[in-house]
């Protein structure tokens, strides 16, 4: 079963889509110059995906950052050939997607993934996590603190 994908972009993502530096996103927002106004989520800004997509000519549901990410609500019987099983940075990783903030998904092999050595789901063989050095929309909230 598929879970709904997150419907908000963070500042790094809109910066990429609008071809701006993240800092200029905050500046332009303060001046009311962004194509789509942000929503405040706690201490950080987020942007509605459908509206941002429309501003750059993408389909409302398109996910240009990970077009192949398929969220799972439960572990698969096996990992399909050519796919990677990936979990987010929440520890411990639950065996049901969404439990305590755990998320996992199937993805295409890519440079942002690194083999994970935690003992989650050993029956499925190797699994992966998002490389901390690459973009991870879950953990990039630190950049939001620059909004002040
Ligand atoms: Zn792991």
Q: Which residues contact 103 (CB under 8 A, 6 or more apart)?
A: 3, 71, 87, 88, 90, 97, 138
- In this structure, what token pair is assigned to residue 40? 């405040």
Residue 79: the pLDDT is: 95
Q: What is the pTM of this model?
A: 0.51
In the reported structure, the alpha carbon of residue 117 is separated from the centroid of ligand 1 by a whole-number distance in angstroms of 6
Q: Over the chain, what is the mean pLDDT?
A: 82
Count of structural domains, the chain: 2
In the reported structure, the alpha carbon of residue 4 is separated from the centroid of ligand 1 by a whole-number distance in angstroms of 22
144 or 91, which is more confident: 91
Asked if residue 39 and residue 80 are part of one domain, the reply reads: no
> Is there a domain that residue 146 lies in?
no
Q: Supply the range of the domain harboring residue 20.
A: 8-55
Least trusted range by pLDDT, from 2-11, 34-43, 114-123, 127-136: 127-136
- Alpha carbon distances (Å) from 59 to 31, 63, 67, 99, 135: 27, 9, 12, 30, 22
12 or 67, which is more confident: 12
In the reported structure, the alpha carbon of residue 115 is separated from the centroid of ligand 1 by a whole-number distance in angstroms of 8
d(CA 62, CA 19): 18
Q: Which residues contact 118 (CB under 8 A, 6 or more apart)?
A: 91, 92, 93, 129
Across 45-70, average pLDDT: 84
Asked if residue 89 and residue 48 are part of one domain, the reply reads: no
> Is there a domain that residue 133 lies in?
yes
- Residue-wise pLDDT for 2-32, tens only, equals 555 568 999 988 998 898 999 999 999 999 9
132 or 47, which is more confident: 47
- In this structure, what token pair is assigned to residue 127? 């699994």
């Amino acid at each position: 079963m598929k879970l709904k994908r997150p419907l908000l972009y963070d500042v790094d993502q809109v910066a990429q889509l609008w071809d701006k530096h993240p800092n200029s996103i905050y500046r332009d927002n303060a001046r009311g110059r962004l194509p789509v106004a942000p929503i405040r989520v706690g201490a950080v800004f987020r942007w509605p995906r459908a509206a941002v997509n429309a501003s750059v000519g993408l389909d409302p549901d398109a996910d240009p950052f990970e077009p192949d990410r398929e969220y799972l609500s439960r572990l698969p019987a096996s990992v399909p050939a050519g796919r990677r099983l990936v979990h987010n940075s929440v520890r411990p990783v639950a065996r049901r997607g969404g439990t305590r903030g755990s998320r996992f998904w199937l993805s295409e092999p890519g440079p942002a993934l690194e083999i994970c050595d935690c003992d989650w789901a050993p029956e499925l063989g190797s699994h992966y996590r998002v490389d901390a050095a690459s973009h991870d929309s879950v953990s990039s909230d630190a950049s939001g603190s620059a909004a002040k």
